[in-house]
Amino acid sequence: MTAHPLIRDAVPGDLARLHAINQASTPGVGDVTAEALATLIGQGAATLVAEVDSQPAGFILCLTEGADYQSLNYRWIAERYPRFAYCDRIAIAPEARGAGLGAALYRAAFRHFSGRRDALLCEVNLAPPNPGSLRFHERLGFSPVGERWSTDRAKGVVYLERSLP
């Protein structure tokens, strides 16, 4: 695994591989069909791909305010932030995990939205818990700004924000 992956915009030919990476990353990211992922990419403000050995090894998909997206997490953020980028999902292929691709993708997203949006936001599961993701986001400078729980408290997320210069 290379220490410096090529970070590039997603292209239509990436869809099958990005979908496979997404599905291998559940439940950390939501389960979606290839068609639903293609729709999300189309709605997104940026879908960045980490390429290793000429193949997508991970991706980050971000939306901004004004998207026609009915996700409860997106709507929670949209109600509170006028100018934002929202990381709907970041996923790394199982064989590429631990090589720094997630941090490289986030750094690319920070650069992409810097000066264009006030903050990059995301959510991490509290129930079922995802402590590794919480530590990862904390290392990247994210801070908690709120939580949302299901009525039965079986599912919950913490919303995280990283201000952008």
Determine the average pLDDT of the residues in 65-93: 96
**Mean pLDDT in the chain?**
95
Please state the pTM of the whole predicted model: 0.93
The answer to whether the CB of 49 falls within 8 A of the CB of 58 is: yes
Residue 27, pLDDT score? 81
For tokens 């990059």, the residue is 120
42 Cβ contact partners less than 8 Å away, ≥ 6 residues apart = none
pLDDT tens-place string over residues 21-47 = 999 998 888 899 999 999 999 999 999
pLDDT surpassing 70 at residue 79: yes
Structural contact between residues 63 and 43, judged by C-beta atoms closer than 8 angstroms:
yes
List the domains of the chain with CATH numbers. 6-163 (3.40.630.30)
- Kindly indicate the confidence band of residue 51, based on its pLDDT and cuts at 50, 70 and 90: very high
**Confidence check: pLDDT of 4 > 90:** no
From the list 131, 135, 126, the residue with the least C-alpha distance to 158 is 126
Angle between helices 101-113 and 131-139 (to 10 degrees): 50
Q: Is residue 3 scored above 60 in pLDDT? A: no
